[in-house]
Amino acid sequence: MNANYDRLKNEPNIYIRKTDNTFVIIGVYVDDIPLISNSKSGLNLAKTELASAFPITDLGPMTQFLGIQVLRNRTNHTISLSQSQYIDTILKRFDMLHCKPINTPMIVPCKLSLEDVPSNDRERSEMEVVPYKQVLGCVRYLVSCTRPDICFVAGFLSYFMENLGPKHWIALKRIL
């Protein structure tokens, strides 16, 4: 493959080649290699170079990558990312598929604290079986990919991960 690609220092799986009017971006994740370019000729050249170095399969325009749907509107020249399938999977997994939609991920002002922990053995045993960490992990993956709008509340609720009470669990379910 042509060595005219620069590897990003902060994202070592991304390679970029810039020429006068063309750029090509190659992302590498295991055996998935999305190609992005502002020109068809740049894209075709990158495919040819990759094919000369590795066996590749061209799956056409990208529609999904790492569970993220890539939605193109060629008329408006836009690309949108969506994790709606992943969100549906989370809702099913944690029995929240038929939950009532809500406009905000957090009640403001939020009055959660470390003092909102279980106060008796019954509450403690109830909280031990709550999948708080699993739900929070799913939510944080959404934050890192397509949902920066819930970043604050996900980070805030992460603070209570090791010592949570019923109010914390209700607040986390509100995000779902």
Q: What is the DSSP letter of 29?
A: B
CB 61 within 8 A of CB 69: no
**What is the crossing angle of helices 151-158 and 132-145, to 10°?**
150
Give the chain's end-to-end CA distance (angstroms, integer): 45
Instruction: List, in sequence order, the alpha helices (H) in the chain.
Output: 40-53, 84-93, 121-128, 132-145, 151-158, 166-175
d(CA 167, CA 112): 7
Q: Read off the amino acid at residue 87.
A: I
Q: Are strands 35-37 and 64-65 parallel, antiparallel or unpaired?
A: unpaired
d(CA 36, CA 32): 13
pLDDT given for residue 37 in this prediction: 92
pLDDT given for residue 30 in this prediction: 87
Per-domain boundaries in the chain: 6-60, 84-175
Name the region of 30 (left: φ>0; alpha: ψ -120 to 50; beta: rest): left
Mean pLDDT (10-residue bins), the chain, 176 residues: 80 92 92 90 92 90 90 93 94 94 87 82 86 96 94 93 89 94
d(CA 151, CA 147): 7
pLDDT given for residue 13 in this prediction: 93
Q: Report the largest interatomic distance among the alpha carbons of the chain, rounded to a whole angstrom.
A: 69
pLDDT given for residue 3 in this prediction: 63
pLDDT given for residue 92 in this prediction: 97
CA distances 122 to 73, 115, 133, 134, Å, are 53, 17, 20, 22
Sign of torsion over alpha carbons 158, 162, 163, 168: positive
Enter the pTM of the model: 0.77
Token duo for residue 76: 């408006």
